[in-house]
Amino acid sequence: MIRLSFATLAVIWSLSAAATAQEAVRVEKILPGPGGKLIAFNEKGVSQGDIPADSLPPVPFTASAYNPKTKFVRVTAGGKEVWLSPMQAQTSVKAQVLNPCETVDRVKGTPYSSRGASDCK
Protein backbone atom coordinates (compact mmCIF):
# COMPACT_ATOMS: atom_id res chain seq x y z
CA MET A 1 0.00 0.00 0.00
CA ILE A 2 2.80 2.34 0.97
CA ARG A 3 4.63 1.44 -2.25
CA LEU A 4 1.51 2.14 -4.27
CA SER A 5 1.08 5.53 -2.56
CA PHE A 6 4.69 6.46 -3.30
CA ALA A 7 4.31 5.31 -6.88
CA THR A 8 1.13 7.40 -7.26
CA LEU A 9 2.86 10.43 -5.77
CA ALA A 10 5.81 9.92 -8.09
CA VAL A 11 3.51 9.80 -11.11
CA ILE A 12 1.67 12.95 -9.98
CA TRP A 13 4.99 14.70 -9.34
CA SER A 14 6.37 13.75 -12.74
CA LEU A 15 3.17 14.86 -14.48
CA SER A 16 3.19 18.20 -12.67
CA ALA A 17 6.88 18.60 -13.48
CA ALA A 18 6.10 17.94 -17.13
CA ALA A 19 3.26 20.45 -17.02
CA THR A 20 5.58 23.02 -15.43
CA ALA A 21 8.16 22.34 -18.10
CA GLN A 22 5.55 23.00 -20.79
CA GLU A 23 4.75 26.36 -19.22
CA ALA A 24 8.36 27.52 -19.48
CA VAL A 25 8.48 30.66 -21.56
CA ARG A 26 10.51 30.59 -24.72
CA VAL A 27 12.10 33.67 -26.20
CA GLU A 28 11.27 33.43 -29.89
CA LYS A 29 12.61 36.67 -31.24
CA ILE A 30 14.79 39.52 -30.10
CA LEU A 31 14.23 43.06 -31.36
CA PRO A 32 17.52 44.90 -30.94
CA GLY A 33 17.81 48.63 -31.47
CA PRO A 34 20.15 50.13 -34.07
CA GLY A 35 23.68 48.80 -33.54
CA GLY A 36 22.38 45.51 -32.15
CA LYS A 37 21.86 46.85 -28.63
CA LEU A 38 19.34 45.72 -26.04
CA ILE A 39 18.25 47.48 -22.87
CA ALA A 40 18.81 45.33 -19.78
CA PHE A 41 16.61 45.77 -16.70
CA ASN A 42 16.85 44.58 -13.12
CA GLU A 43 14.06 42.56 -11.44
CA LYS A 44 12.31 45.80 -10.46
CA GLY A 45 12.10 46.95 -14.08
CA VAL A 46 14.78 49.63 -13.73
CA SER A 47 16.99 50.13 -16.77
CA GLN A 48 20.58 48.90 -16.28
CA GLY A 49 22.03 50.06 -19.60
CA ASP A 50 22.85 48.44 -22.94
CA ILE A 51 23.94 44.90 -23.69
CA PRO A 52 24.86 43.52 -27.12
CA ALA A 53 22.16 41.33 -28.67
CA ASP A 54 24.75 38.72 -29.68
CA SER A 55 25.53 38.05 -26.02
CA LEU A 56 22.25 36.08 -25.90
CA PRO A 57 21.89 32.48 -27.07
CA PRO A 58 20.44 32.01 -30.57
CA VAL A 59 16.62 32.13 -30.66
CA PRO A 60 14.49 30.28 -29.78
CA PHE A 61 15.72 29.63 -26.24
CA THR A 62 14.08 29.14 -22.86
CA ALA A 63 13.97 32.07 -20.46
CA SER A 64 15.15 31.37 -16.92
CA ALA A 65 12.16 33.25 -15.45
CA TYR A 66 9.05 35.14 -16.52
CA ASN A 67 7.24 37.82 -14.56
CA PRO A 68 3.54 37.54 -15.56
CA LYS A 69 2.81 40.92 -13.99
CA THR A 70 5.41 42.96 -15.85
CA LYS A 71 5.78 40.44 -18.74
CA PHE A 72 9.56 40.78 -18.48
CA VAL A 73 11.73 37.69 -19.05
CA ARG A 74 14.99 36.80 -17.30
CA VAL A 75 17.76 35.60 -19.60
CA THR A 76 21.47 34.95 -19.33
CA ALA A 77 23.53 37.36 -21.41
CA GLY A 78 27.29 36.95 -21.40
CA GLY A 79 27.16 34.88 -18.20
CA LYS A 80 25.09 37.50 -16.37
CA GLU A 81 21.38 37.30 -15.62
CA VAL A 82 19.35 40.27 -16.86
CA TRP A 83 15.68 41.03 -17.50
CA LEU A 84 14.39 42.01 -20.93
CA SER A 85 11.17 43.93 -21.61
CA PRO A 86 8.39 42.63 -23.88
CA MET A 87 9.32 45.38 -26.33
CA GLN A 88 12.60 43.64 -27.11
CA ALA A 89 11.99 39.97 -26.23
CA GLN A 90 9.13 38.33 -28.08
CA THR A 91 7.99 35.31 -26.11
CA SER A 92 5.50 32.70 -27.15
CA VAL A 93 3.55 30.43 -24.87
CA LYS A 94 0.58 29.72 -27.12
CA ALA A 95 0.93 31.50 -30.40
CA GLN A 96 -2.24 31.43 -32.47
CA VAL A 97 -2.08 31.98 -36.15
CA LEU A 98 -4.83 32.56 -38.70
CA ASN A 99 -5.32 30.99 -42.07
CA PRO A 100 -6.32 33.22 -45.00
CA CYS A 101 -10.04 32.43 -44.64
CA GLU A 102 -10.06 33.28 -40.95
CA THR A 103 -8.57 36.65 -41.76
CA VAL A 104 -11.77 37.48 -43.63
CA ASP A 105 -13.65 37.37 -40.33
CA ARG A 106 -11.36 39.99 -38.95
CA VAL A 107 -12.75 42.50 -41.39
CA LYS A 108 -16.29 41.82 -40.18
CA GLY A 109 -15.60 41.79 -36.44
CA THR A 110 -14.86 44.63 -34.08
CA PRO A 111 -11.10 44.50 -34.54
CA TYR A 112 -10.48 46.15 -37.90
CA SER A 113 -7.98 44.37 -40.01
CA SER A 114 -7.70 44.84 -43.30
CA ARG A 115 -7.31 41.68 -45.10
CA GLY A 116 -9.64 39.33 -46.88
CA ALA A 117 -9.63 36.37 -49.20
CA SER A 118 -12.03 36.14 -52.11
CA ASP A 119 -12.01 32.34 -52.39
CA CYS A 120 -13.27 31.57 -48.87
CA LYS A 121 -16.65 29.87 -48.77
Partner 1 sequence: MNADIAPAQANSLWRWLIRIAPVVLMAILVKVANPLGIYSKSDQISIETFNILASGFYPSSAQDKISIVMIDDNSLTDSDISFPPPFPFYARLIESIRSFGAESILLDLMFLEDRGNPGDIERLVKAMDGFPVFLTRAETEGRNCDVRGPGNLAKLRRAAVAEPHPLIEDQASHIKLLPKICDTVVPAASLAVYAYHCAADPGCSKGPNDPFVNPQAFEDEVLALQWGRYSPKEALDLHPSSGRLARDCPQPGLADHLTTFVRTLLRPAGNDDVPVPVGCSYHPVIRAEWLYAPGRFPELNVSAMKSALAGRIVVIGADFAGMKDVGPSPVFGKVQGAWIHAMAIDNLLVRGADFLRPWPEGKLGAVGFDGAFEMVLVALSTLLANWIWKRMPSERLDTAVLCTIGFATGGAAIGLAISFLLVFAWRLEPVNWIGIACAGAILADPAYSAFKKIWHARAMASQS
Which residues of this chain interact with partner 1, rule CB under 8 A?
Answer: 29, 31-34, 37-39, 45, 47, 71, 85-88, 90-100, 102-103, 106-107, 109-119
**What's the 3-state SS for 12-54?**
HHHHHHHHHHHHCCEEEEECCECCCEEEEECCCCCEEEEEEHH
* Cβ proximity of 10 and 69 under 8 Å: no
Q: Which is nearer to partner 1, 2 or 46 (CB)?
A: 46
Q: Which is nearer to partner 1, 37 or 74 (CB)?
A: 37
Least Cβ distance, residue 59 to partner 1 (angstroms): 9
Per-residue DSSP letter, 84? E
Least Cβ distance, residue 120 to partner 1 (angstroms): 10
Least Cβ distance, residue 66 to partner 1 (angstroms): 10
The values of phi and psi at residue 108, to 5°, are -80, -35
